[in-house]
Every structure is written in structure tokens, then in C-alpha cells.
Amino acid sequence: MQRGYIARNVATLVDAPSASQDEIEPLSRDEALRVIRLAATKRNGTRWSVALALGLRQGEALGLRWRYVDLEAGTFIVRWQLQRLAWRHGCADPHACGGHRHRDHCLPDCTRHARACPQRTGGGLQLTELKSDKSRRTIALPPPLVAALMAHRATQLQERMTAGPAWQDGDFVWCQPNGRPIGNHADWAEWKALLKAAGIRDVRVHDARHTAATLLLAQGVDQRVVMQILGHSQISMTSKYAHVLPQVMTDAAEKIGEALWGDA
């Protein structure tokens, strides 16, 4: 239709299938406490305290830099994320460059395999700005987290002095011992090791974000406030966490009972 070959796109007449929702598997409050207490004894342990309390996405947490953290005001700004991007060829003939890596499933004019290009560009770990206004947000920190981050920053400054010229300053809140950013795979491995050491069932890194959402709602925080903390674009994305909180439903039933029937 865009090319003018047909006057109508009949595919628009078909009802699209409903999107399936992934099962939410948040940690319980007791499990979250066990993780936080154990993480406090580990290097970069505040990474997981922030994840479980405020629900930052993995890329948002790994891309957080000190210039966006105001410990005196007790806030930080979420504006960037650390992503692993695909490499691009920097050579004049991408097809010839990847010649020794072409396989039977490659197209005749294949220009892939940029990772092996000696002049590759644009790939690896890169900071990218968050796209939506809802994702770019300022978050208030709980007082215990402010104190923990102050201690973490002091420890990181000591690491920087120890590393000397080997330190590569990226201003990252959580980084490797040489200052370089932490990749998503290493972050995933740290999370899995932490869960195993704490004797907690295996869950995804993203489930820490789900945990933050459910715990915030369980504390009676308004859904719209939770929506802003998590950077959701729609309130419906936040509302889906309500079904995993039976205690919230019980509290609501008790409150309406008191309002209509009182002591009776």
C-alpha cells in the first residue's frame, strides 16, 4: 500500500491476538531483606538495595552516574541507561571484511559479522539517553539508602586512589575495581550468586523491579506515585502488580467494612 501497488491493506481487518503477560515473580519482603542484608557485605552492594527499593531497570542502574546523584537533597535523576549495542562495520567493504565468517545461511550480499571488523564502530557498552519523558525522572531516596550510598562513595574513592593510573573514570555509581562500567552479563552473574548465597529461589534481575513495585504498593503508596518512581508510561502497567498482593485486598475489605458498618 505504501508503494502504491494496492489501494487497501486488508491486514488491518484482522483482529490482533491479545498480548500474553509474563508471570510476575517478586521476592517476598523477608526475601528482599535477606538479599539487602547480604548485599551490604559485598562490593557494590547498594546496587541491589536501590534495585529492590526503587525498581530501577538494569540498564538504568548500570548507567547511573554520580553527577546525577544529590546525596544532600536525597535524590537522583534517572536519564541514561547502559546498553550493549551491536557493532557496525567501519570498513569500505563490509561483505569482503566478513568473508571468512560467512556461512550457508548468510545472504549472498551479507554485510554482517561486524564484530570481527578491525575498524568496527558504535558497539559494546554505550550510554544512551532514555527516550520517553516518563522514563526520565527524579527519584527521592529513602534515608537509609542515602547513608549507604555515602559509605559506598567513600569506598569507591579509596578504590580509585588504590588503582592510581589504572583507574578509568566514567563517573559510574557502580563500576569495576578499575572504574570501567559493569556489563549486563556480569551484573546478572552477581545477582544469581547473591540469591544462591542468601538461599533464595532463582529469579531474574528484572524481578527485583517487580519486587520494588509490589512492596511500594503493599506500603500503601499511591499507584500514580509508584508509576512515577518506576518510570511507567501508563497506570495500567503499575496496576498489574495489585493481583499479587492479597493482603492489600484484605485491608481494603476491612476498611470498607469499617466505613459502612463501623464497630458492628
Same domain, 155 and 177: yes
3, part of any domain: no
C-beta separation of 37 from 190 below 8 A: no
Q: Among residues 122, 140, 173, which one ends one of the domains? A: 122
Same domain, 165 and 109: no
Instruction: Collect contacts of 139-144 with beta carbons under 8 A, ≥24 apart.
Output: 139/54, 139/75, 139/76, 139/77, 139/78, 139/229, 140/74, 140/75, 141/54, 141/71, 141/74, 141/75, 141/76, 142/53, 143/74
- Per run of 10 residues, the mean pLDDT along the chain (length 264 residues) is 86 80 81 96 96 95 97 95 84 79 80 78 84 91 94 96 94 96 96 96 94 88 91 86 65 75 70
What gap in Å lies between CA 64 and CA 52, rounded to an integer?
Answer: 16
Question: Residue 208: what are its φ and ψ, rounded to 5°?
Answer: -65, -35
| pLDDT (0 to 100) of residue 243 | 61
| pLDDT (0 to 100) of residue 81 | 95
| pLDDT (0 to 100) of residue 236 | 85
| pLDDT (0 to 100) of residue 21 | 62
| pLDDT (0 to 100) of residue 64 | 97
Same domain, 174 and 114: no
| pLDDT (0 to 100) of residue 3 | 80
Q: Which of 55, 82, 63, 64 is nearest to 215 (CA)?
A: 55
Number of domains the chain is built from: 2
CATH of the domain at 155: 1.10.443.10
10, part of any domain: no
5, part of any domain: no
| pLDDT (0 to 100) of residue 208 | 95
Same domain, 101 and 33: no
Give the domain extent around 75. 21-81+132-251
Q: At 152, list the grid cell.
A: 559506598
